[in-house]
Structure 1
Amino acid sequence: MATEQQDGTPGGVGRRRFLTGVGLAGAGGLLAAPAAAESAPPSPRPEQFQGGRYLLVPDVVLLPNGIARDHAVLVADGKFRDVGPAQRVVAAHPELTPVRLDGHLVMPGFVDAHHHLTQSFGKAQAFGQPSEIFKQVWEPLEHALDADTAYLATKLSALEWLRGGFTTVADAGTRAPIDVEVLARAAEDAGIRCVLGKVCSDGKGGEQHLHRWESARLIHPSLAIPIQDDASDAVMKKTSDLCAEAGAVFQIHVNEHLAAVERSISAFGRRPMEHLHDIGALGPQTLAAHATLLTPTEMRMVADAGAAISYNPVASAWKGNAVAPATTLAAWGVRFGTGTDGTRGDGFRLVDAAETAQRLTGGLATGDSSCGAGRTWVEHATSRSADAVGLGRVTGEIAVSKAADFLVVDLRVPELTPSWDLEWELVRLANRDQITAVVVDGRLRLWQGWPTDWDAHALVAQAATTGREVVERAPIRRVKPD
């Protein structure tokens, strides 16, 4: 008869194994059944991440230069205060009891380089629609929001993204008729770090916004003009300059769709990225969303200007005309982060999509079987994404003085057993359900997918009703309503 027993082997801690009384080779008993294994080590507990100061000793840490074993991480006052070989770090802090994370990885949280926090009620309303759905779906939806419903939509987004391993999101600016303080409050209440864009197409309020959040730990101001059609050249230049002076990012959608490129050529005789360059709005402060339709000349402009791009592969798959040439951008030294465009809040699926899109659009034709390999896509969804959204000095890495924004990931799963190249495996094999803990600014925000200090189930229930009401009153125009 089969019996169930704990597997205590190094590659299978905490998993179950079925043993037969007659041996693994069947009735002949050529291979004897193994003896009972030792008990699995205890799983981590949420209370071990409390108190504001704790010492973690995981099996694996993802450091800026790659995977490290036998390392420890000290978190205090919201930052990483010590990172290094476990023996040294533990000895240096004898007053702390090490939190052993056997079978777990500590890695930086994902950084979403392009989001629309107030669009969470729409979701499948955009599926199967023509490329420029912002006119038919997103603008009408956002205009139907008030302060209460915008708060709810933003907090719902933040919850979904935290569940998917994102510790930072860059919101590209809402068109909802509200004070963006509503979004800031929702992000802070949920516990996610937010680069908060304010739409300044009329040229007003930018300076005030950039200085409004100086005391906030999780809110980092940004200015946005959704598309170049929305503002004059003078306003775009002024907005970009304000961001440069404040050390903030200037967000704008550029070269996303063929229709937008053709409108720019008709209006200015230049493509959108060329036009931004010509008016002096393209610089290190610029975060160009999508940029899927770039000529070699435009790529050179972006590289020379030191501007950044948000590469949004899922958005390209769902409603785009093209995929940004991310591997080419990397080869040319163009700064870029990986973004979702608010499609779905799942960091592991995002890095998978990032690599897959490059493989399908370029790798197959050129025989490039790696397309940057695993590390490229992990880096561009963490540290390089943080750099793209203007937070390279703040977050994105497990490194001393950086914000303690990180994930605790369970490696004791069949998908990662045996493990040969963890960075590749994170890209192609890892899952959101392996995330044991999400920590932002040193505080435990989610444990096994749910917040520890507020009622997320109640929020989801409320959003199910309120979100439907908002969509029903919004003048959304779907081309194929079925």
Structure 2
Amino acid sequence: MTRTLIENGVVLTMNPAGDIHEDGCVLVEDSRLAYVGPRGGLPRELDARREDAAGRVVMPGLVNCHTHLCMIFGRTLATNTDLLSWLDLQMPVMRALDAEAMLAAQTLGCVENLKNGNTTLVENLFAPRSDTVSPEDCAFAAMERTGIRGTVARAFEALRFDPAFVETPAQQAERVRALHARWHGSAGGRLRLSFGPLLPWTLDESMLRASRALAGELGLCLHMHVAESAEFNRIIERHYGRPVRNVELLHETGCLGPDVQAVGVSDLSPREVALLAETGTSVILDPQTRLFWGTGFPPLAPFLDAGITCGLATNGPAANCGQDLFESMKYACATAKTAAGDPRVLDARRALRMATVEGARALGLDGQVGSLETGKQADLITIDLRQPHLVPAFDLEAALVFSARGSDVRDAMVDGQWLMRDRCLTRIDEPALLARAETLAERSLERAHVRRGHHRTLKGTP
């Protein structure tokens, strides 16, 4: 048995009682948490490797409930467009990715998440379909190599989309079953598969019902963009030929429930919010991306008032140009308060829960991660409090939500293994990865014939 004792830090447990231990300890045995609490609760003599966390917060690793690492080479492209125009401009880059580029993109994205303190992520992957190259295998391989806890949420497009990305329901079922057999539950349960339509108008009602049936057969979650803007509902009505809204359509086809994550949810009626609550469907919120695309202030208050489980996300690095979930927490509070005209609608404690244990619950992982409690997997991070922008920290939770940044994370552990120590990765040669990713991104943009404007590279950087 391998034992690690992290001591002398401020331990933020995120457990149901909200316990914070000022001079706390976390004991890790192999991949699990064996003790979380004050130093006095452990014997003085303990056979364990000791890690001094003085001046740091020890807390659960953050849970990034939705991203698109497959689009990372499109970072900073099309930053002044609406959502669907942005997607159109990103598509040529997506088409240009080969297996080598996809693996590099996914690895870069996993590294960026780890360095921001996100020890769990959901990669909503869409890519051109091929019988010889599996982009999902690339994503899983990157997660396996970097050590992050990850779910690949495979996107499905059957109609009204770029032909290179389209597949039939039979092809989807065949590929999902193969990925399920190869990857779901692998790496000691660290890697998981889910799926769902990329956009609600890229399939029809029968395909939604077939997806629901396939998810039930394999025990997989459904993960999908839902009502991200008012334009979504207008397009749905046009393509389905009747006045139906996004959540209503999902309810009709059985695609709501506790195993469903609805992402974006910016244009919902009160009836739709009620349907989400009644069915136990979770929502995933990425408030800074809504502002980035100019779709308005996300109305978080109705979800909170309805008792809906809410997870937080960064969205993809091409969407908001980063993977900092601390930024998502801060924006969630600011936009919720502005939309409701009420500064009390979302406080720092709830935002932290949405980024940790509540986000884990949205993904069906709250029994494993999201809080520091005995028996859970040892997924945790440390944050350096000894910095000008974090002193004083009279209210620790407020300091983390409103003042901290992803770059304040010093260490990251998943399943009891250190993946980052004092900002240095333990499994990945970061300088080599950055150089390789830059080269492959350049190649992909050249293949896509994308204009780059003012473009700087890492070449010649010391």
Provide TM-score, normalisation by structure 1: 0.83
Residues 2 and 48, structure 2, Cα contact 8 Å, conserved in 1: no
Q: Percent same amino acid among aligned pairs? A: 28
In structure 2, the residue matched to 1:48 is none
Q: Distance in 2 between matches of 1:238 and 1:58?
A: 53
In structure 1, the residue matched to 2:327 is 349
- The code of the aligned residue for 1:216 comes to A
Shift of residue 481, structure 1, vs aligned partner:
10
User: What is the DSSP-based 3-state SS (H/G/I as helix, E as strand, rest coil) of the residue aligned with 1:188?
Assistant: helix
1:167 and 2:119 matched: yes
User: What is the DSSP-based 3-state SS (H/G/I as helix, E as strand, rest coil) of the residue aligned with 1:252?
Assistant: strand
Residues 9 and 54, structure 2, Cα contact 8 Å, conserved in 1: yes
In structure 2, the residue matched to 1:187 is 143
In structure 1, the residue matched to 2:91 is 139
User: What is the DSSP-based 3-state SS (H/G/I as helix, E as strand, rest coil) of the residue aligned with 1:248?
Assistant: coil
- Deviation digits for residues 130-165 of structure 1 (CA, Å, limit 9, x no counterpart): 221454133322221111000001111111111111
Structure 1 residue runs of 5 or longer lacking an equivalent are 1-50
Q: Distance in 2 between matches of 1:134 and 1:273?
A: 24
Shift of residue 52, structure 1, vs aligned partner:
4.2
2:4 to 44, 50, 54: 54
Residues 137 and 477, structure 1, Cα contact 8 Å, conserved in 2: no
Shift of residue 330, structure 1, vs aligned partner:
1.3
Q: Distance in 2 between matches of 1:199 and 1:444?
A: 31
Residues 251 and 275, structure 2, Cα contact 8 Å, conserved in 1: yes
Q: Distance in 1 between matches of 2:215 and 2:2?
A: 33
1:84 to 37, 41, 59: 37
1:260 and 2:218 matched: no
Residues 146 and 427, structure 2, Cα contact 8 Å, conserved in 1: no
Q: Greater CA radius of gyration, 1 or 2?
A: 1
In structure 2, the residue matched to 1:33 is none
1:215 and 2:186 matched: yes
1:198 and 2:154 matched: yes
1:282 to 242, 246, 256: 256
| Pairs within 5 Å for 1:276-315 | 276-315=250-289
Q: Distance in 2 between matches of 1:164 and 1:467?
A: 22
- Aligned alpha-carbon RMSD (Å): 2.2
Q: Distance in 2 between matches of 1:274 and 1:387?
A: 24
In structure 2, the residue matched to 1:398 is 372
In structure 1, the residue matched to 2:419 is 445
Residues 351 and 377, structure 1, Cα contact 8 Å, conserved in 2: yes
User: What is the DSSP-based 3-state SS (H/G/I as helix, E as strand, rest coil) of the residue aligned with 1:230?
Assistant: coil
2:202 to 230, 233, 255: 230
Shift of residue 383, structure 1, vs aligned partner:
0.9
Q: Distance in 1 between matches of 2:294 and 2:208?
A: 25
User: What is the DSSP-based 3-state SS (H/G/I as helix, E as strand, rest coil) of the residue aligned with 2:59?
Assistant: strand
User: What is the DSSP-based 3-state SS (H/G/I as helix, E as strand, rest coil) of the residue aligned with 2:193?
Assistant: strand
- Deviation digits for residues 276-298 of structure 1 (CA, Å, limit 9, x no counterpart): 11111111111111011111010
- The code of the aligned residue for 2:364 comes to G
Q: Distance in 2 between matches of 1:89 and 1:138?
A: 54
Residues 10 and 56, structure 2, Cα contact 8 Å, conserved in 1: yes
Question: For the structure 1 residues 336 and 246, does the alpha-carbon distance in structure 2 shift closer, same or farther, using more than 3 Å as the test?
Answer: farther
User: What is the DSSP-based 3-state SS (H/G/I as helix, E as strand, rest coil) of the residue aligned with 1:380?
Assistant: helix
Residues 313 and 325, structure 2, Cα contact 8 Å, conserved in 1: no
- Deviation digits for residues 389-425 of structure 1 (CA, Å, limit 9, x no counterpart): 2222221111122221111111122323232110011
In structure 1, the residue matched to 2:432 is 458
- Deviation digits for residues 202-251 of structure 1 (CA, Å, limit 9, x no counterpart): 32222333333233232111112101212222222222233345443201
User: What is the DSSP-based 3-state SS (H/G/I as helix, E as strand, rest coil) of the residue aligned with 2:337?
Assistant: helix
User: What is the count of residue pairs matched by the alignment?
Assistant: 426
User: What is the DSSP-based 3-state SS (H/G/I as helix, E as strand, rest coil) of the residue aligned with 1:172?
Assistant: strand
Shift of residue 319, structure 1, vs aligned partner:
1.0
- The code of the aligned residue for 1:346 comes to D
